[in-house]
Amino acid sequence: MLLLISPDGVEEALDCAKAAHHLDIVDVKKPDEGSLGANFPWVIREIRQAVPADKPVSATVGDVPYKPGTVAQAALGAAVSGATYIKVGLYGCTTPDQGVDVMRAVVRAVKEHNPDALVVASGYADAHRIGCVNPLAVPDVAARSGADAAMLDTAVKDGTRLFDHLPPDVCAEFVRLAHACGLLAALAGSVRQDDLGELTRIGTDIVGVRGAVCEGGDRNAGRIRPHLVAAFRAEMDRHDREHAAGLPAGR
């Protein structure tokens, strides 16, 4: 399982750089603009320059509307700015076909610029609260559009978490559907250390966190700290070892 950490700016990215050997992907977002809020192109560039060259940078392009042209331009901007993972939150897509329309435009825009970039279609575990596409439809949307990964996050950051909206067995089905389509499966949404047993058990490829590695567990007021990143990675590694040894999750 890969660890994706989401700093909100260059200063936090420098803290991520100090803990670079504990993480796998540095994710650029702007939390005050939403769950997958897009940051500025110059911030993506500066973060790309701040973290080690061997650490890929991902960037969110927003909790997007059903406007394929607008979203394609935003995605290309993220790719041009140095991101190699491009994450799109299908916030305004109410049907799978709308999601496919948006993601096909994104895939074309990004892949024509950089064929090696990875495009991520992201849905929301709490889709029922905002009226967007069903979470279990996201892997099919990603596959039909030519994306590389399917992801779930939470849209409303009110203290509820991924497993509050989708129990582990439903998340396991999401992962199974993604893998059946040849996609990476990423899960996020106020994930904590005590979720890692289940996330490991169900075969999650990428786990995305912010609050869990911020002071006080606060994704907005807290700041990412290298020692918290190290502690989170240590717990990930422990669960990975136990899973490989056949021990039950959640020990």
| Active-site amino acid positions | 29, 87
Contacts 24+ apart (CB under 8 A), 92-98: 92/63, 92/64, 92/65, 92/66, 92/67, 92/132, 93/64, 93/66, 93/132, 93/133, 94/66, 94/131, 94/132, 94/133, 95/133, 96/133, 96/134, 96/137, 96/140, 96/141, 96/144, 98/66, 98/133
Residue from 108, 118, 103, 120 nearest 185 by CA: 120
- The DSSP 8-state label assigned to residue 84 in this structure reads S
Cα–Cα distance for residue pair 247/251, rounded to 1 Å = 8
The 10 Å Cβ neighbour count of residue 141 is 27
| CA–CA distance, 211 with 162 (Å, rounded to integer) | 13
At 42, list the tokens.
């110059």
Compute the chain's Rg from CA coordinates.
17
Residues near 237 by beta carbon (within 8 Å), at least 6 away in sequence:
none
Tell me the residue type at 85.
Y
Distance CA 158, CA 23 (A): 26
Q: Which uninterrupted H or E stretch holds 57?
A: strand 57-63
